[in-house]
Structure 1
Amino acid sequence: MSDSATPPAAQDRITYDEFARVDIRVGTIVAAEPFPEARRPAYRLQVDFGPAIGVRKSSAQLTVHYRPEELVGRQVAGVVNFPPRQIGPVRSEVLVLGFPDADGAVVLIGPDQPVPNGGRLF
């Protein structure tokens, strides 16, 4: 993978069909709590992706910029078609997406206006 300062090399480029296989949806965080068992500070999240997908669990290292009570009600983007992954006692079912700040801490991404849960990124 290339970093943000380097454009992708020709061999790293993907087709639109490859991109379309990554199912990125919008959901609303309905629960967030500390995850003290995690190796690095993290929260356990429950994200509602609408009736077709439902509520999915995740572990996310968001403790630098967010408190649990600030996360509840926030819409976020997440990859919903990765296989579940066991992270300590949590079975993570979705990858919540963000960008690193200047120090590498996660800043969440999501819509700048409310949209229906479950909407797919295109």
Structure 2
Amino acid sequence: SPAAAALPVKDIIDYDTFAKADLRVATVLSAECVEGADKLLRLMLDIGEPKPRQVFAGIRKAYDPAALVGRQVVMVANLAPRKMRFGVSEGMILAAGNPDGALFVVAPDSGALPGATVK
């Protein structure tokens, strides 16, 4: 099968820098289109905390919101909150992107619990 076009690898980082990213399994509790934003979906994510996290993700062209509910994704849980005109995004989900613009949300195998750390 054809591979994605070989893009240059970003600057090399050491393990300690990589280890600062807190990657967690999250379950999508709800997903909806963001009015006025053609690329964004508003996701409410369960990572095992008392309150769900709100994350705005630029995956609207790739996913029907209803199809995401109940799915698990991988998120960066310790990314600083980002104020957007639609609200505050409290993390970021991981997605792979092909050169043609196709997007694919990164997900764990079945059995991972919300909040499980990705190592």
Q: TM-score of the superposition, structure 2-length normalised?
A: 0.86
Relative distance call for 1:64 and 1:88 in structure 2 (3 A) is same
SS of the aligned residue for 2:54 comes to strand
Opposite residue 5 of structure 1, the aligned amino acid is A
Aligned-residue identity in percent: 37
Unpaired runs of 5+ residues, structure 2, are none
Whole-angstrom distance in 1 between the partners of 2:63 and 2:7: 29
Q: Which moved more, 1:25-34 or 1:98-107?
A: 98-107
**Aligned equivalent of 2:45:** 47
Cα deviation code 1:50-86 (max 9, x no counterpart): 137x411011122222111100000000001111101
The answer to whether the 8 A contact 1:61-1:106 is kept is no
Whole-angstrom distance in 2 between the partners of 1:66 and 1:116: 23
Whole-angstrom distance in 2 between the partners of 1:6 and 1:37: 32
Opposite residue 47 of structure 1, the aligned amino acid is L
Whole-angstrom distance in 1 between the partners of 2:91 and 2:63: 19
Whole-angstrom distance in 1 between the partners of 2:33 and 2:7: 36
Whole-angstrom distance in 1 between the partners of 2:72 and 2:22: 16
The answer to whether the 8 A contact 1:58-1:90 is kept is no
Would you say 1:80 and 2:77 are equivalent positions? yes
Whole-angstrom distance in 2 between the partners of 1:89 and 1:49: 22
Dislocated runs of 4+, deviation >3 Å: 6-9
**Aligned equivalent of 1:67:** 64
CA RMSD of aligned residues (A): 2.1
SS of the aligned residue for 1:121 comes to coil
Whole-angstrom distance in 2 between the partners of 1:27 and 1:49: 5
SS of the aligned residue for 2:24 comes to strand
Q: TM-score of the superposition, structure 1-length normalised?
A: 0.84
Whole-angstrom distance in 1 between the partners of 2:86 and 2:76: 21
**Aligned equivalent of 1:24:** 23
Relative distance call for 1:101 and 1:5 in structure 2 (3 A) is closer
